[in-house]
A and B are shown apart, each in its own frame.
Chain A
Amino acid sequence: MSRGRAMAALPPPRSTWDAINPLRLLGELSETRYWMYLLLLPSALLITAIVLFPTVYGFQLSFTEMRLNRPAGNGAFVGLKHYQRMLADPIFWLSLRNTAVWVTFSILIEFVVGLVAALALNRNLWGGKVLAVLILVPYFLPNVVAGNMWALMLDSRVGVINDILVNIGLLQEYKAWFADPNTAMATAIFVEAWHSFPFFTLLIMAGLKGIPTDLYKAADIDGAGAFAQLRLITLPMLRTIIAAAVILRVIGLVNSPDLLLILTQGGPGRSTQVLSLYAFQNAYSDFNFGYAGALSVVMFVLLMLFAWAYIRLSKVNQD
């Protein structure tokens, strides 16, 4: 730094070398306001490369004709063609509705079960540490493993779940859970909830550690029962963490088709067809990347709207 100043104080350069001497120029540069931008450049480039470029490319794709198995005409700008098609596409609307059901009920169950598990584990009961690890196991299973495991357990011929349900008399005969449109979505949601509720457990447990125990003592003395304490202390104190968990999970649920890909592939008869799966099929079995891009953009916009509305409604930003 001091060197930079010393150089700046020198008389004007006398030789041509001085005019292009990189060290001298670098020194001068470090004294200007551009220096800051120069230092930011590497991270800006990185962000541009890994975040901005794919996002912009995805948007651009949605206005482009891009069918990998029909090279002629690819790359042409087609304006809102894909979006117009979408409006008239009954499968899109069905997928949108199914996505709403899939996400809403999955989140609800995951949150409630995750909360109950976290509250139970937070009591430091005997064996709680072992239980805490066990309860997290589902989350560590890859989707593929969890999906295939449940597909097998729910199988209408050899599935152990059917066996149990028939034996305890809840079912008359083995049921093909994923072949009946009335149970396919619910069963898929059950598997999804089983797989991901530990995510809520994990985050809520972390949040619970941050709530001062004095608050519960004070509430005990004030006469608040367990439910009132949950409603008036625990949940409000967890608001930020719950909001973060819900948003992350909604993003995951909206974007990731892998569990449904294994369990149902959208069937039977599209009764579990969701947007992510539809986009996936459009891209990788119809090779229509333009339309798939448009579907992704719609999902992206819906997610942004959801996150914005949710943050506003849950008042996470307050105090």
Chain B
Amino acid sequence: MTAKFDRRSVLKLGGGMLAASALLPHQAFAQQTAINYWHTFTSQSEAAGLQAVLDLFKAAHPDVAVTPENIPNPEFMAKITAAVVGGSRPNVTMVSSERFEDLLAMGALSDMTDRIAGWERRGDFDDKRFASITKDGKTYGVPGFTFVDWGYYRKDWFDEAGLAAPTTYDEFRDAAIKLTDASKGRFGFGLRGGPGGQNFVVNVIEAFGSPVKKEDGTIGLDRDIVVKALDWYAGLLVKDKAVPPSAANDGFQQVISGFQTGQTAMIWHHTGSYQDIASKLKPGVEFGTFAMPAGPATRVARLAYAYNCITNDENADAAWEWIKFWGEPDAAVAFLEKTGYMPASTVAAQDQRIVGNPMYKAAADTLGFGIPQPSFPGAAGWAQNTVLPALQQILIGQATPDQAADQIIEGLAAAIA
């Protein structure tokens, strides 16, 4: 008994000392509020855009110090999960729409409904902009900028061949086949079959007529349509040979550099890569932009938003200042000019610097008919871990569209089970 008593008191003593030492290095003075900002910007132009916004913010808000922290996209979910579970949450986190449901479900996001309602610039934003960060009447973030899906095409090659920018899948496929010239090492379409390519597969499936999430909220796919869609999309490589053979491993870098170096005549991406392309090819002369073509059933072009969300209750007021700042037209246009990302604010999108530029017309049009990515818990994992490998298996000849469709449908059932 005595031994037990003593052991406990020793432990208590040790615990007390630990607690004391933890309290010691407390900041005595804190005039400036420090917050950190987790983002997934990768390219140089994105980094330049972020820096431009940071500089403007620093001038406007000397009392808030923002430390940006780059989290590479592939590690993002692992890092944020660990931060949430481990209690080392960042103050503000950039959340793309497809990650909203997962992050909300794990309790990473704070309810921002009241702050947003009282915001003087709330009126600048269309209500739709908040749709993919709102659930059950509560809003969890403010769109910082917009990902607008579109395509880039080699205007010089198209002109030479007497072709116009495609508006339908048929036109798109014809152009891809016509512009393919294996002897020159030239391919019609830079298909993204590597990391990040999953969303385009979903787009094509929906454009063929099988939405993943129906209007009544049910989730499911029509097998026949999926087969047709896969046959068409992967067929661009396996049948039409209009796609570089490296497609199954081509991610963002590879697809962009393929277009920049003159290997491919068309690629699909979003406006965020505009400055990267324009740094190598002459806008309006060597390349042009086009809105995503219409599929047999419907036209699918995604509008996705990078939301800035409060992910830590500490210093939430300072975090809110930083989040609001992205809605300032000056900040939004400065960011656009460095990157090509469209502003989320309707007011900012009306800026002459945008509407006056013909290269942005396709994006401005898409803002009208674009639709958000299907969103439900498990969607991102399903697209990445089931849809993409299934597409790759067709591309490398290890599966037929039928087999791949089965994988995709079974994977979807498992993901929402």
Instruction: Tell me, yes or no, whether A and B come into direct contact in the complex with CB atoms closer than 8 A.
Output: yes
A residues with CB within 8 A of B: 22, 25-26, 28-29, 32, 34, 38, 41-42, 68-71, 144, 151, 155-158, 173, 176-181, 184, 261-262, 264-271, 273, 280-287
A34 touches B261 (CB 8 A): no
B389 interface contact, C-beta 8 A: yes
- On whether A157 and B78 interact (CB within 8 A), knowing A179-B249, A265-B194, A268-B395, the answer reads no
Q: Which segment of B1-9, B162-170, B205-213 sits at the interface?
A: B1-9
Which A residues touch B250, using CB under 8 A?
176, 179
CA distance in complex: A41, B105 (Å) = 40
CB neighbours of A70 from chain B (8 A):
105, 377-378
User: How many Å lie between the Cα of A273 and that of B384 in the bound state?
Assistant: 13
Whether B381 contacts A266 by the Cβ 8 Å rule is: no
- Please state if B254 and A281 are interface contacts (CB–CB under 8 Å): no
Chain A residues contacting B395 (CB-CB under 8 Å) are 179, 268-269
Please classify the interface of chain B as helix (H, G, I), strand (E, B), loop, or mixed, using the class held by over half of its residues. Answer: helix
CA distance A261 to B394 in the complex (A): 21
Contact B389 A267 (CB under 8 A): yes
Evaluate contact between A285 and B245: CB separation under 8 angstroms.
no
* Residues of chain A within 8 A of B258, CB atoms compared: 157
A266 and B393 alpha carbons, distance in the complex (Å): 12
Q: Is the CB of A68 within 8 A of B105?
A: yes
Task: Verify B245–A68 contact, CB threshold 8 A.
Answer: no
In the complex, A71 Cα to B244 Cα: how many Å?
A: 43
B249 touches A269 (CB 8 A): no
B2 with A28: CB separation less than 8 A? yes
Residues of B within 8 A of A284 (CB): 77-78, 81
Nearest CB in chain A: distance from B337 CB, A = 28
B257 touches A176 (CB 8 A): no
Q: When the two chains form their complex, are residues A179 and B246 in contact, meaning their CB atoms are under 8 A apart? A: yes
- Chain B residues within an 8 Å CB radius of A286: 378, 381-382, 385, 415
Contact A155–B389 (Cβ < 8 Å) = no
A144 contact set on B, CB distance < 8 A: 72
CB-CB contacts below 8 Å: B62-113 with A: 72, 74, 77-78, 81, 101-102, 105-107
Q: Do A281 and B245 contact each other (CB < 8 Å), given the known contacts A32-B3, A181-B396?
A: no
**In whole Å, how far is B138's beta carbon from the nearest beta carbon of chain A?**
16
Task: Verify A29–B3 contact, CB threshold 8 A.
Answer: yes
The residue on B at minimum CB distance from A90 is B407
Decide if B249 touches A184 in the complex (CB within 8 Å).
yes
- A269 near B398: Cβ-Cβ < 8 Å: yes
Decide: A156 and B105 in contact? CB cutoff 8 A.
no
Verify if B24 is at the interface (C-beta below 8 Å from A).
no
Tally inter-chain residue pairs, CB-CB below 8 A: 148
B285-338 at interface with A (beta carbon < 8 Å): none
A-B pairs with the 5 shortest C-beta distances? Answer: A176-B246, A268-B248, A269-B393, A286-B381, A178-B249
Are A158 and B102 within 8 A (Cβ)? Answer: no
> In the complex where A29-B2, A68-B81 touch, is A285 in contact with B381 (Cβ < 8 A)?
yes
CB-based contact A158/B261 at 8 Å: yes
> Are A157 and B254 within 8 A (Cβ)?
yes
Task: Tell me, in angstroms, the Cα distance from A305 to B105 when the chains sit together.
Answer: 38
Q: Which B residues are CB-close (under 8 A) to A180? A: 245, 248, 396
> Of residues 236 to 260 in B, which have CB atoms within 8 Å of A's CB atoms?
244-250, 253-254, 257-258
- Judge whether A264 and B399 touch: CB under 8 Å: no
A34 to B7, CA, bound (A): 10
Q: Which of B200-252 contact A (CB under 8 A)?
A: 244-250
CA–CA, A157 to B380, complex, Å?
30
* Shortest CB distance B411–A (Å): 10
| CB atoms of A157 and B257 under 8 A apart | yes
Instruction: Please give, as numbers and ranges, the residues of chain A lying within 8 Å of B9 by CB-CB distance.
Output: 22
Binding site secondary structure of chain A: loop
The reply to whether B249 and A285 contact each other, CB–CB distance below 8 Å, is: no
Q: Is the CB of A267 within 8 A of B3?
A: no
B interface residues, how many (CB within 8 angstroms): 54
Q: Which residues of A contact B11 (CB under 8 A)?
A: 41
Starting from the known contacts A184-B249, A281-B381, 6 additional A-B residue pairs (CB-CB under 8 Å) come to A41-B10, A157-B246, A176-B250, A269-B398, A287-B77, A287-B381
Q: Chain A residues with Cβ under 8 A from B261's Cβ?
A: 157-158
Between A and B, 27 residue pairs with Cβ closer than 8 Å are: A32-B3, A41-B10, A68-B105, A70-B105, A155-B254, A157-B244, A173-B185, A176-B246, A176-B249, A179-B246, A179-B248, A179-B396, A180-B248, A184-B249, A261-B74, A267-B388, A267-B392, A269-B389, A269-B394, A269-B395, A271-B396, A273-B389, A284-B77, A284-B78, A284-B81, A285-B77, A287-B106
Contacts of B6 in A (CB 8 A): 22, 25-26, 29, 38
Q: Which residue of A lies closest to B248 (CB)?
A: A268
Q: Are B5 and A269 in contact (CB under 8 A)?
A: no
B316 to chain A, nearest CB (A): 23
Contact B249 A268 (CB under 8 A): yes
Contacting residues of chain B (378-417) with chain A, CB-CB under 8 angstroms: 378, 380-382, 384-385, 388-390, 392-396, 398-399, 415
Q: Which one of B195, B258, B393, B396 has the greatest number of beta carbons of chain A within 10 Å?
A: B396
Kindly state whether residue B193 has any CB partner on chain A within 8 Å: yes
Kindly identify which residue among B5, B194, B248, B398 contacts A25, using a CB–CB cutoff of 8 Å: B5
Flag if B263 contacts A69 (CB, 8 Å). Answer: no
Find chain A residues with CB under 8 A from B396 CB: 179-181, 268-269, 271
Bitwise interface map of B from 259 to 275 toward A, beta carbon under 8 Å scored 1, else 0: 00101000000000000
Q: How far is the CB of B417 from chain A (nearest CB, A)?
A: 9
Q: Please measure, in the bound complex, the distance between the C-alpha atom of A137 and the C-alpha atom of B77, giving whole angstroms.
A: 31
Q: In the assembled complex, which residues on chain B have CB atoms less than 8 Å from the CB atom of A267?
A: 194-195, 248-249, 388-389, 392
**A-contact 0/1 string along B322-364, CB 8 Å cutoff:** 0000000000000000000000000000000000000000000
* Cα distance, A270 to B388, chains bound together (Å): 10
* Smallest beta-carbon distance A20→chain B, Å: 9
- Complex: A65 Cα to B4 Cα, angstroms: 38
For A179, list chain B residues within 8 Å (CB). Answer: 193-194, 245-250, 395-396
Among B7, B377, B390, B392, the residue within 8 A (CB) of A69 is B377
